[in-house]
Amino acid sequence: MSLPKREVEELRPWVERTVKKVLGFSEPTVVTAALHCVGKGLDKRKTIDQLRPFLEDSAGGFVERLFEALEESRSSRGSKGSGDKNRKRELKIKQMMEAATKQIEERKKQLSFTSPVSSLDGSRLLGAAGASSVAPSQAASFMNDAIEKARKAAELQARIQSQLSVKPGILGALGNTGPHNLVALANLHAMGIAPPKVEIKEVNKPTPLILDDKGRTVDATGKEIELTHRMPTLKANIRAVKREQFRQQLKEKPGDDLESTSYFDNRVLITPAQRTRRGFRFHEPGRFEKIAQRVRTKAQLERLQNEISQAAKKTGIQASTKLALIAPKKEIGDGDVPSIEWWDSFILPSNIPFKPETKFDNLEFFGVTNLVEHPTQMRPPVDTDKPVTLGVYLTKKEQKKLRRQTRREGQKEVQEKVRLGLMPPPEPKVRISNLMRVLGTEAVQDPTKVEAHVRAQMAKRQKAHEEANAARKLSTEQRKEKKVKKLKEDLTNGVHIAVYRIRNLTNPAKKFKVEANANQLYLTGTVVLHRDVNLVVVEGGPKSQKKFKKLMMHRIKWVEHSSKRDDPDVDDDTKRNNKCWLIWEGTAKDRSYGEMKFKQCPTESMAREHFKKHGTEHYWDLALSHSVLDGTDD
């Protein structure tokens, strides 16, 4: 697990002490590399691989000691007792080093060294004043060991420096070792030990960039040179270069050598790889202003037409104009007899005068030929080939006879089981009325006991009867499902549709009756509210349609009396003459509407658009023509 920078800095003293214990001297390069591995959270094996270029064979022992010191440092931060032990151990090591240093100095004096000795680094030469004297043979052995350790340390430092010089980027900016290596080499020179020779490989440095006054790259002699371009090494850059090269190849046109090959087809057009850039296409000034002015004019015209139609509807002009559209045009007076009827004018030529002596044998009639057009025979959408079977109903006498036969067969089966010993014989059915006849002498001996036994049997039979009834009884959910199933009819053979027209449907009570009954009978459809043309369309089964028709034509009293809840805009004459008409009923293959909903349509176009959305605009056309004819009759 990686450690934050603050904790790594706290571990630096312990790592330095571990390096001193393993190597015998302080080496900042190894300390930095070890801290780098510990900070990244590497395990022992990866840490050994990272430090092997510096320490070679001693890397394993160093990493073991390093992780031991790391554990000790972590434990020392947790408890004070462990910190005291570490301080005692350090003090003991310090005393031993001071004693060894003093003995080395005495041995050097005996061997007549000329230069003052400072063989080890300044942190170890502390000069203990109160050290005890050592025998000459023991001092000579200490001196030899110290010289051997110093030589090994110098060789190790030189090897580390050579590795860093060969691989300058192995630790980045952390590879600067400082003046400690110079101190070690000076100590070896003072002790008369030759430092080891290590060959340092030259590192290829980039040539300095020299530019002349024109900005060209030149060498030291002033000769113009061309720099080598460095190729990308990252995968993304390599892909980008390859992509650019591929685009250049696509842009290049095929040469003449391609046309000379047998695989070249002149008929195939070579399209460029990239789409040609389209230029801007600006609109002409004032275009959108014209469109806005056209929309405003159209809206104003529609508003004016609505106002005119509402005014014409109140005065009765609209009904007469619509009736005029249906009726043929009259070109003669009321008392004159036309020479030709208006329905014949479509097939007779108009440029020939018709007289009693006109012969029609040589005339060409429009749309009339010697061919007979037979209508296409189509099967009805809901017709089924299954034969209709009528149910067989029995009379009361036949039902009783069938019941007797069924009970007799059941009793015979029970008697056979009793005779074979498969079930015990049933107890005699004793009642208070046949008590003496069934039991006989037992009833005479102890009548109270026998009566209690008989009453217990009667209670048992009554309880069994009630339990059987309760078991057969339907639950609340089952009763509800049965009722819904009875109301929801089978519509596979077609949906029955009825269209009603009501003159005035503003009363909320009548609206509620229409909607509630349609939902209770599981009918679908729509109610469109328009002045004088209130249309109710319902879809469902034949039984539901029969009940809803009875509601609309008989049960609801459409003639209203004035009340506070009525619409004030509706006149009293409309309320008094309110009526409901069944203008069409038939069948269709599928339903066209969902749940019964009300739709307020102030204009005829809006109402027809609502029906057209469901594919039933002919309902509205039929109701509108019915209202026009009804208005002319009034």
Q: What is the CATH number of the domain that holds 599?
A: 3.30.70.100
- Binned at pLDDT 50, 70 and 90, residue 400 comes out as very high
329 SS3 class: coil
Of 41, 56, 76, which residue sits at a domain end?
76
Residue with tokens 């050598």: 257
Q: Would 119 be classed as within a structural domain?
A: no
Against a cut of 0.95, is the pTM above it?
no
Between 61 and 530, whose confidence is greater?
530
Among candidate residues 34, 56, 76, the one where a domain is terminated: 76
Cβ–Cβ under 8 Å, residues 30 and 51: yes
Distance, CA of 544 to CA of 551 (rounded, Å): 11
Q: How far apart are CA 319 and CA 630, in angstroms?
A: 9
> What is the band of 349 on the pLDDT scale with cuts at 50, 70, 90?
confident
Task: State the residue for tokens 């050290």.
Answer: 131
Query: What are the distances in angstroms from CA 586 to CA 498, 533, 543?
Result: 7, 20, 14
Q: What is the pLDDT, as a whole number, of residue 205?
A: 60
For residue 598, being part of any structural domain is answered with: yes
Residues 6 or more apart whose Cβ sits within 8 Å of residue 203: 165, 166, 168
**383 within a domain of the structure (yes/no):** no
Structural domain includes residue 48? yes
Q: Average pLDDT of 151-172?
A: 63
Q: Is residue 181 in some structural domain?
A: no
Structure tokens at 96: 């031993």
Work out whether the CA dihedral 244, 245, 250, 255 comes out positive or negative: positive
Evaluate whether residue 538 is within a structural domain.
yes
The one-character DSSP state at 174 is G
> pLDDT > 70: what percent of the chain?
70
Question: CB of 33 within 8 A of CB of 51?
Answer: yes
Domain of residue 22: give its range.
5-76
Q: Indicate which CATH number applies to the domain containing 48.
A: 1.20.1390.10
Indicate the residue among 20, 51, 76 that finishes a domain.
Answer: 76
The answer as to whether 583 is a domain residue is: yes
Mean pLDDT calculated for residue range 284-297: 92
Give the side-chain half-sphere CA count within 13 A for 113: 17
Measured distance CA(196)–CA(185) in Å, rounded: 10
Residue 96 is predicted with a pLDDT of: 78
Q: Considering its fold, how many domains does the chain have in total? A: 2
Residue 32 domain-assigned (yes or no): yes
Mean pLDDT to the nearest integer, 456-471: 94
The predicted structure's pLDDT at residue 220: 74
CA distance 329 to 342: 8
Instruction: Say yes or no to pLDDT of 128 above 50.
Output: no
Residue 557: pLDDT band (50, 70, 90) is very high
